[in-house]
């Protein structure tokens, strides 16, 4: 691969980093405030309300939301670099999760996990070069259909290679629970949350502090300008797809233990992740992560405390929320307004 | 042997033909100006060199053919093309934009080259973290020039650097270009509508009309040429 | 002479097609007849989708849900219970409901209701750009089966609604299958002509102007909002009509008949058939019916694409077709026709460079 063969350079300028951290902290504080307020409301309206139960739901929601966030980030990554809405992102994740499943029959969890990420990376890059590259310049609808074709093909392929029976998937986290400040949290949920967020943070660090990350950000900003300074844009796009595939693989492997592994593992999660990405702003990585977490918590709370929604109408409820946000703020929470230049 | 040579280059955008056989050359160490009215094909010529149009004909740079390749290819061989609109990365900071100049894998370490650039544009050092989109037009042009220099190019191509800039800024910019050429031997091909200043800084010039070279010669000759004076110099 | 030819080709082909459709039943058994009835239904659905996505440039991943809406409306009407009893209202007396409406009348009403719903959807859709619109319509498609199951008092929930197979009217001496075949194709024919008139008229031109450049269209005096929502309405009306016919034909509607995969596959068929061309709807419908992506008949799509090798083939097929024939099958025919007409083959001009 024609990537500069030097070690990534570390570049630290304090200003913007500090600013991002402060914004992040502010956001978290704001979110906590909103949740506390909501809890206060619920103490009035719900008969069987307990703060520890509420907190539990929030943590569950965060854990699930972390999975949405990972896949949403993958979607945004691809959208920003190649302007493509990758409908096959979920199926790519499922496929790599199946590969992990096979690997785990021959080696222990974490080595299999790592190897799967490598395979996912190569696979994602390969798909970009082979399937997407030829249709890059075609109208949007053509590319949409191509990714849908990919979705259908991968879904069938998973079922064909590994047979469509539901399988159990190992989790590296123990089954037990722990108690923090009176709130019972399962290790599984905590583990998922930590792994997903760690992946996201690592990716952020990659983009922020390494030369390669800078080049990719430049390509997302302007492909033409990148070419003029000598960047091999094609390889950067493949790299973007590779990284997105890695994110998807993490999401899949984190979701599989509780959702069980079959070819349709990620179909519904993909829709939630799409919603999260658009909610956060389809061109904003932060938005994807925030959107995922918000959506996870929101549907958990709505599902638990609003009888009308219950367990069945969670997905439509999430989509209604999304639609309302989009109507008020079409660019999503963190996205940029599209200026129409005449 | 000239550093850059174009032989009967024709270029088109889809079905629209923009160049109808342009031949020109740039020798090492020269500043050559490409003049002409709007739509004459000046920008297209630069874009053809950078393989951004459909071209036929020969384009030879440092002994190698570079036509019909890709912009990356031309950039990696040492052609720094500063396009119309400057080609900056608006959301990246000033410093990050500068860094991007070095990723084409050319010789010279970034830190060293960045120091050089700061000597010409000291303000860059003070405004490292500012997003490029918030710079003024003149600053953007200078940053674009600085970024081009970071890659230690063999040929610098400037497309209408004076566009949208105040006359004093334009003077400053061209003074720097002149210094770069005289002190460091940088070869420059500059496309300009502002023929006056372009002819002051260049040693030779070509005038394009409707996609072909209409007049060519040394800058002195062109400054005295009646047609050029009337059409492009305003007297 | 040449100009006469190119003007006459369209109507001539239509007449030829009509004759073929009329005579086809003589040559096939009941099962084939059923398949071709479904082709007619899909033609109607795809005409609508073509109008929305091909002519006015708005991507919809929710067309299947609108077909479902039409199906449910038609089913409820023919069962005589349009759901108003939930609110203790009697249906207005001027609707010929009786014990259940004659199926044939349910078609235009279903189309109208779905059309209105579509128009209402089109209004907020204006605020959403390409990506968001695709997602919003996907949201509709995903939510539809869930909602149908949830409001089971009206919709019969998961069990669905069973209808009676319609009787042949006027005591004609043909089998029900035949009657349904002709009913579907006549409707398709009428709607095809309607679409043709729309598309070649002012409205169609406005749509194409908007699709190709909304800002430019606005400055030529076209009000994009009006035309775009109208496109949504018309497209949904077509979907509703298709849905009604579907309900009549299968005599059974249930939520799982209209999952998200239906919307996705409809869009894929529309694109492969050829967007921006009404004939594309015909090719797309043929593809949809005869390509083996489902394993039962009448076609029932599960949310899960068929988990067998055929879906791998179908997925790859989609990709390959997009690589080779972005204009779809209709585009291929047009190119061939153009080559024949001008006597030579011209390469598509490349638009990959920027001006």
Q: What pLDDT, in 10s, does the model give residues B66-78? A: 988 999 999 999 9
Structure tokens at B12: 């088109």
Ranges A281-290, B196-205, C14-23, C34-43: which has the least confidence: C14-23
pLDDT at A70: 95
**Is it the case that residue B21 has pLDDT exceeding 80?**
yes
Which pairing describes strands B31-36 and B16-26: parallel, antiparallel, or unpaired? unpaired
By C-alpha distance, which of A243, A247, A246, A269 is closest to A256?
A269
Q: What pLDDT, in 10s, does the model give residues A37-93? A: 888 887 777 777 777 888 888 899 999 999 999 999 999 999 988 888 899 999 999
Q: What is the mean pLDDT of residues B68-93?
A: 91
Point out the residue among C149, C308, C318 whose CB comes nearest to the CB of A149.
C318
Question: Scanning every residue of chain A, which has its alpha carbon at the shortest distance from the alpha carbon of C317?
Answer: A149
Check C307 against A156: CB less than 8 A apart.
yes
Question: Is pLDDT larger for residue C353 or for residue A102?
Answer: A102
Point out the residue among C132, C271, C307 whose CB comes nearest to the CB of A141.
C271
CA of A59 vs chain C CAs: smallest distance (Å)? 26
Question: For residues B155-180, b (16+ Cβ closer than 10 Å) or e, as one string?
Answer: bbbbbbbbeebeeebbeebbebbbeb
Q: Which of A134, A138, A140, A141 to mutate to test the interface with C (most CBs of C within 10 A)?
A: A141
Q: Which fold has domain B4-233?
A: Rossmann fold (3.40.50)
- Say if CB C261 and CB C301 are below 8 A apart: yes
CA of C266 vs chain A CAs: smallest distance (Å)? 11
**Is it the case that residue C297 has pLDDT exceeding 50?**
no
Using a CB-CB cut-off of 8 Å, the residues of chain B touching A222 are 87, 89-90
Band the pLDDT of A341: cuts 50, 70, 90: very low
CA of A215 vs chain B CAs: smallest distance (Å)? 7
Q: Report how far residue A155's alpha carbon sits from residue B225's, in angstroms, rounded to the nearest whole number.
A: 72
**Is it the case that residue A236 has pLDDT exceeding 90?**
yes
Using a CB-CB cut-off of 8 Å, the residues of chain C touching B16 are 355
H/E stretch holding C22: helix C2-23
Partner B contacted by A231 (CB < 8 A): yes
- Say if CB A158 and CB A263 are below 8 A apart: yes
Q: Report how far residue B176's alpha carbon sits from residue C21's, in angstroms, rounded to the nearest whole number.
A: 78
CA of C90 vs chain A CAs: smallest distance (Å)? 27
Ranges B213-222, C82-91, C217-226: which has the least confidence: C82-91
B vs C, Cβ pairs < 8 A, gives: 15
Using a CB-CB cut-off of 8 Å, the residues of chain B touching A14 are none
Check C353 against B16: CB less than 8 A apart.
no
- Say if CB C208 and CB C38 are below 8 A apart: no
Question: Is pLDDT larger for residue C16 or for residue B36?
Answer: B36
Question: C112, exposed or middle or buried, with CB in 10 Å at 0-12, 13-18, 19+?
Answer: middle
Check C323 against A85: CB less than 8 A apart.
no
Q: What is the mean pLDDT of residues C329-341?
A: 75
- Say if CB B10 and CB B57 are below 8 A apart: yes
Using a CB-CB cut-off of 8 Å, the residues of chain B touching C353 are 13-14, 52-54
Question: Scanning every residue of chain C, which has its alpha carbon at the shortest distance from the alpha carbon of B51?
Answer: C353
Domain locations along chain B: 4-233
Structure tokens at B132: 């490029």
Give me the percent of chain A exceeding a pLDDT of 70: 93
Band the pLDDT of C300: cuts 50, 70, 90: very low
Ranges A90-99, A126-135, A266-275, C94-103: which has the least confidence: C94-103
Asked whether the ipTM of the predicted complex exceeds the cut of 0.95, the reply is: no
Q: Report how far residue A342's alpha carbon sits from residue B5's, in angstroms, rounded to the nearest whole number.
A: 38
Q: Report how far residue C187's alpha carbon sits from residue C182's, in angstroms, rounded to the nearest whole number.
A: 8
Using a CB-CB cut-off of 8 Å, the residues of chain C touching B13 are 353-355
Q: What is the mean pLDDT of residues B109-113?
A: 83
Q: What is the mean pLDDT of residues B58-65?
A: 91
**Is it the case that residue C87 has pLDDT exceeding 70?**
no
Structure tokens at B232: 């492009």
Interface of B to A at Cβ within 8 Å reads: 50, 70-72, 75-76, 81, 83, 87-93, 95-96, 99-101, 103-106, 128-129, 147, 151
By C-alpha distance, which of A71, A77, A76, A73 is closest to A90?
A71
Using a CB-CB cut-off of 8 Å, the residues of chain C touching B50 are none
Average pLDDT taken over every residue of chain C = 76
Q: What pLDDT, in 10s, does the model give residues A168-220? A: 888 888 888 888 777 888 888 999 999 999 999 999 899 989 989 999 999 99
Q: What is the mean pLDDT of residues B128-138?
A: 89
Band the pLDDT of A27: cuts 50, 70, 90: confident
Q: What is the mean pLDDT of residues C327-345?
A: 71
Q: Chain B window 157-216: which residues touch C at a Cβ cutoff of 8 Å?
A: none
Check A228 against B103: CB less than 8 A apart.
no
**Is it the case that residue C84 has pLDDT exceeding 60?**
no
Q: What pLDDT, in 10s, does the model give residues C127-162? A: 777 777 888 888 888 888 888 887 776 666 666 677
Ranges A35-44, A113-122, A224-233, B135-144: which has the least confidence: A35-44
pLDDT at C169: 62
Q: pTM score, two decimals? A: 0.84
Taking residue B153's Cβ as centre, other Cβ atoms within 10 Å add up to 23
3-state secondary structure of C215: helix
Structure tokens at C179: 């009657």
H/E stretch holding A185: strand A183-186
3-state secondary structure of A56: helix
**Is it the case that residue C35 has pLDDT exceeding 70?**
yes
Q: Which of B75, B99, B103 to mutate to test the interface with A (most CBs of A within 10 A)?
A: B103
Question: Scanning every residue of chain A, which has its alpha carbon at the shortest distance from the alpha carbon of C270?
Answer: A145
Residue A279: CA atoms inside 13 Å, Cβ hemisphere, count? 28
Partner C contacted by B109 (CB < 8 A): no
Q: What is the mean pLDDT of residues C279-284?
A: 87
Q: Which of A7, A209, A229, A281 to mutate to test the interface with B (most CBs of B within 10 A)?
A: A229
Which pairing describes strands A183-186 and B79-82: parallel, antiparallel, or unpaired? unpaired
pLDDT at C30: 73
Band the pLDDT of B189: cuts 50, 70, 90: very high
Neighbours, chain C (3 or more CB pairs < 8 A): A, B
Average pLDDT taken over every residue of chain A = 85
Q: What is the mean pLDDT of residues B52-80?
A: 91
Q: Which domains does chain A have, with CATH numbers?
A: 51-328 (1.10.3470)
pLDDT at A235: 92
Question: Scanning every residue of chain A, which has its alpha carbon at the shortest distance from the alpha carbon of B47?
Answer: A228
Check A149 against C306: CB less than 8 A apart.
no
Check C353 against B14: CB less than 8 A apart.
yes
Give me the percent of chain C exceeding a pLDDT of 90: 10
Question: Is pLDDT larger for residue C141 or for residue C331?
Answer: C141
Question: Scanning every residue of chain B, which has its alpha carbon at the shortest distance from the alpha carbon of A235?
Answer: B72
Ranges A41-50, B156-165, C286-295: which has the least confidence: C286-295
**Is it the case that residue C237 has pLDDT exceeding 50?**
yes
Question: Is pLDDT larger for residue C250 or for residue A229?
Answer: A229
Partner B contacted by A13 (CB < 8 A): yes
**Is it the case that residue B97 has pLDDT exceeding 90?**
yes
CA of C37 vs chain A CAs: smallest distance (Å)? 26
Q: Is the peptide bond before A9 cis (omega within 30 degrees of 0)?
A: no
Check A157 against C131: CB less than 8 A apart.
no
Ranges B185-194, C25-34, C48-57, C179-188: which has the least confidence: C25-34
CA B66 to chain centroid: 17
Q: Report how far residue C262's alpha carbon sits from residue C68's, in angstroms, rounded to the nearest whole number.
A: 10
A vs B, Cβ pairs < 8 A, gives: 72
pLDDT at C94: 53
Q: Report how far residue A180's alpha carbon sits from residue B223's, in angstroms, rounded to the nearest whole number.
A: 83
- What residue ranges in chain B does DSSP mark as E strands? 4-13, 16-26, 31-36, 54-61, 64-65, 79-82, 155-159, 187-192, 204-209, 212-218
Name residue, tokens 């000033």.
Answer: B94
Q: What pLDDT, in 10s, does the model give residues C54-83? A: 888 788 889 999 999 999 888 887 776 655
Largest CA distance in chain A: 65
Neighbours, chain A (3 or more CB pairs < 8 A): B, C
């Amino acid at each position: 691969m024609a990537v500069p063969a030097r070690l990534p350079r570390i570049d630290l300028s304090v200003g913007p980093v500090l600013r991002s951290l402060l914004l992040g902290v502010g956001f978290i504080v704001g979110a906590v405030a909103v949740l506390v307020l909501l809890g206060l409301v619920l103490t009035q309206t719900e008969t069987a309300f307990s703060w520890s139960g509420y907190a539990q739901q929030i943590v569950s929601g965060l854990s699930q939301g972390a999975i949405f966030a990972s896949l949403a980030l993958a979607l945004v990554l691809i959208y920003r670099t190649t302007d493509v809405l990758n409908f096959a992102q979920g199926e790519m994740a499922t496929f790599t999760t199946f590969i992990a499943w096979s690997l785990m029959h021959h080696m222990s969890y974490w080595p299999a996990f790592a190897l799967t990420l490598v395979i996912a990376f190569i696979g994602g890059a390969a798909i970009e070069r082979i399937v997407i590259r030829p249709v890059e310049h075609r109208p949007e609808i053509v590319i949409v259909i191509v990714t849908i074709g990919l979705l259908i093909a991968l879904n069938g392929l998973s079922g064909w290679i590994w047979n469509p029976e539901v399988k159990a998937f190992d989790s590296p986290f123990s089954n037990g629970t722990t108690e923090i400040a009176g709130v019972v949290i399962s290790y599984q949920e905590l583990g998922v949350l930590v792994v997903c967020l760690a992946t996201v943070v690592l990716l952020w660090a990659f983009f922020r502090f390494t030369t390669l990350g800078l080049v990719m950000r430049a390509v997302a900003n302007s492909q033409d300008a990148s070419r003029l300074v000598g960047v091999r844009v094609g390889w950067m796009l493949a790299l973007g797809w590779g990284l997105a595939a890695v994110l998807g693989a993490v999401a899949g492997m984190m979701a599989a233990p509780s959702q069980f592994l079959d070819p349709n593992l990620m179909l519904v999660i993909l829709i939630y992740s799409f919603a999260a990405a658009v909610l956060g702003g389809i061109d904003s990585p932060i938005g994807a992560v925030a959107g995922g977490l918000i959506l996870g918590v929101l549907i958990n709370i709505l599902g638990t405390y609003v009888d009308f929604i219950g367990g069945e109408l969670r997905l439509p409820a999430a989509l209604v929320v999304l639609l309302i946000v989009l109507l008020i703020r079409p660019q999503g929470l963190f996205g940029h307004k599209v200026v129409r230049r005449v | 042997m000239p550093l850059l040579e174009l032989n009967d280059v024709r270029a088109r955008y889809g079905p629209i033909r923009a160049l109808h056989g342009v031949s020109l050359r740039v020798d090492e160490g020269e500043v050559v100006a490409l003049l002409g009215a709007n739509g004459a094909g000046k920008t297209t010529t630069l874009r053809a060199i950078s393989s951004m149009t459909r071209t036929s004909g020969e384009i030879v740079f440092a002994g190698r053919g570079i036509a019909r390749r890709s912009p990356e290819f031309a950039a990696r061989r040492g052609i720094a093309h500063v396009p119309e609109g400057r080609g900056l990365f608006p959301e990246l900071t000033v410093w990050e934009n500068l860094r991007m100049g070095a990723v084409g894998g050319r010789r010279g370490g970034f830190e060293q080259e960045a120091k050089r650039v700061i000597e010409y544009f000291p303000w860059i050092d003070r405004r490292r973290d500012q997003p490029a989109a918030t710079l003024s037009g003149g600053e953007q042009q200078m940053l674009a020039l600085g970024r081009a220099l970071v890659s230690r190019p063999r040929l610098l191509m400037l497309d209408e650097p004076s566009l949208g800039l105040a006359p004093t800024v334009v003077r400053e910019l061209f003074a720097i270009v002149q210094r770069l050429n005289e002190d460091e031997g940088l070869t420059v091909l500059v496309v300009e509508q502002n023929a006056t200043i372009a002819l002051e800084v260049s040693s030779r010039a070509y005038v394009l009309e409707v996609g072909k070279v209409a007049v060519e010669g040394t800058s002195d000759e062109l400054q005295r040429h009646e047609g050029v004076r009337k059409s492009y110099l305003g007297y | 002479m040449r100009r006469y030819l190119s003007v006459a080709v369209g109507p001539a082909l239509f007449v030829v097609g009509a004759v073929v459709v009329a005579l086809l039943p003589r040559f096939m058994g009941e099962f084939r007849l059923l398949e071709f009835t479904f082709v007619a239904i899909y033609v109607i659905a795809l005409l609508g989708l073509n109008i929305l996505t091909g002519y006015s440039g708005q991507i919809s991943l929710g067309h299947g849900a609108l077909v479902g809406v039409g199906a449910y409306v038609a089913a409820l009407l023919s069962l005589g219970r349009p759901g108003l009893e939930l609110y203790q209202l009697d249906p207005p007396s001027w609707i010929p409901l009786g014990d259940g409406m004659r199926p044939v009348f349910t078609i235009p009403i279903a189309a109208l209701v779905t059309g209105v719903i579509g128009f209402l959807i089109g209004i907020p859709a204006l605020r959403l750009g390409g990506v968001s619109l695709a997602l919003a319509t996907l949201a509709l498609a995903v939510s539809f089966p869930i909602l149908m199951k949830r409001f089971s008092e009206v919709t019969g929930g998961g069990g669905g609604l069973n209808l009676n197979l319609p009787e042949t009217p006027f005591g004609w001496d043909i089998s029900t299958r035949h009657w349904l075949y002709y009913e579907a194709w006549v409707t398709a024919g009428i709607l095809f002509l309607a679409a043709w008139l729309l598309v070649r008229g002012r409205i169609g031109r406005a749509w194409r102007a908007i699709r190709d450049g909304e800002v430019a269209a606005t400055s030529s005096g076209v009000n994009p909002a009006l035309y775009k929502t109208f496109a949504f309405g018309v497209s949904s009306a077509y979907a509703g009509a298709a849905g009604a016919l579907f309900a009549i034909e299968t005599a059974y509607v249930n939520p799982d008949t209209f999952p998200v995969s239906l919307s996705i596959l409809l869009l894929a068929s529309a694109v492969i058939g050829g967007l921006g061309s009404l004939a594309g709807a015909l090719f797309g419908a043929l593809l949809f019916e005869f390509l083996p992506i489902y394993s039962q008949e009448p076609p029932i799509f599960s949310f899960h694409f068929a988990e067998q090798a055929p879906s791998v083939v179908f997925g790859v097929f989609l990709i390959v077709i997009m690589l080779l024939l972005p204009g779809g099958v209709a585009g291929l025919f047009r190119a061939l026709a153009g080559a024949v007409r001008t006597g030579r083959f011209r390469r598509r001009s490349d638009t990959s460079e920027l001006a």
